[in-house]
Structure 1
């Protein structure tokens, strides 16, 4: 059986001709969120290779990363790019992505990974939390049927990816013997990296492509992208985000209750690029 046949869904199952363009065409905030997400997802092959190298010798995890995770992440990128091109055909997606890739490819390096394999898996849980909750929020925001279908598929994929990374995290936690404090620090580091790099780079290259006359105008960049971030922030699934972020800490119930509010603030930072 081919790998494509084993995918939970395929690009061919999305009928982009059915997009109700009138419902989304006017929404620049949604455009910025979808296009920046399509850029990051389309760079999955680079950070997959970084992870495959990082887990040298762990054949089971390497195989899953290269034969499953990478294919699904790249499919997310292709699907989101196809949606953007269908609704906003005047946007030169290939040119924008090439510009994004030139910068992102230089900073997406193995040096960003945690030295400990187990802590890197905890950090991966943070990334998957961010993506799962991003697509859940986008799914809640839109009433356009094709985008609703697409973001539902991607959200389900990301939740499943989270579970897979979490299962391997538990195995490495037993092998490496690190405690909650180190896990918590790894979570904080990855939240800050997401905030400062991936999303900001992607949004900046979407902005530069849309407003070349404003390139380098930080005030206008923050004004335009701030609206999009505000839309996302208002639709964050807080309970889902906090639950997923806390899970690797394996906290007693009373500790988890005490941390829910401050962690909700931390969760917001996943979306404040």
Structure 2
């Protein structure tokens, strides 16, 4: 079973949610060999709730995921923390939405929640918690305390960062970091545009139906990370297309400064 554990279903934080764009994204995810995604949309994206309203109207939800256009879509959220950095939190729909509601006072820069409190709030509920792109220049995690980092379940081998920093150097850096903390590494494309699907993914040696089962398989190491030989062209083309689409929609281009290298959308 193949899953991408870091994905977005909106073009950018400031764009409206488009059901047609979502449907196209799922079709392309399936076309790139994926069976499932974690939908880790930014917690402070415009009208976050629109995503779930559309999903509830159009797709069945069972066992903790939506079945959308042949893809298992596990709910999730990407949260900015006060100390700088992003945390991916994946779980059941009701738990993700409850956490998002609690985070409402913390959606603006300068009011982001501190890491310890976010960990405390997400301790219950069976969440899978992943440290996103820990060595990204603009939003790293490596500067945080080991005590807190060890409360995460895994760290993100991020498709955009592999492109920006090089596979071997990045893999060695994140591998050493995760080993020191006693946590596994999992793959996430960090896509906002469908060309990026398949750049990196996780292939599990058996199927899973719930986030709890997924967490157990990650702990067992019952998976391997696949890095596409076409990663560079996938990420580069996705970012070019994303930029052109944002310009055509008259969207600001400075909401994703961390797209490549020192870049926050």
Q: Same fold (TM over 0.5)?
A: no
In proportion to residue count, which structure has more strand? Answer: 2
Q: Which has the higher contact order (CA 8 A, sep 6+)?
A: 1
Larger Rg: 1
In proportion to residue count, which structure has more helix? Answer: 1
Instruction: Name the TM-score, length of structure 1 as normaliser.
Output: 0.27
Instruction: Name the TM-score, length of structure 2 as normaliser.
Output: 0.28
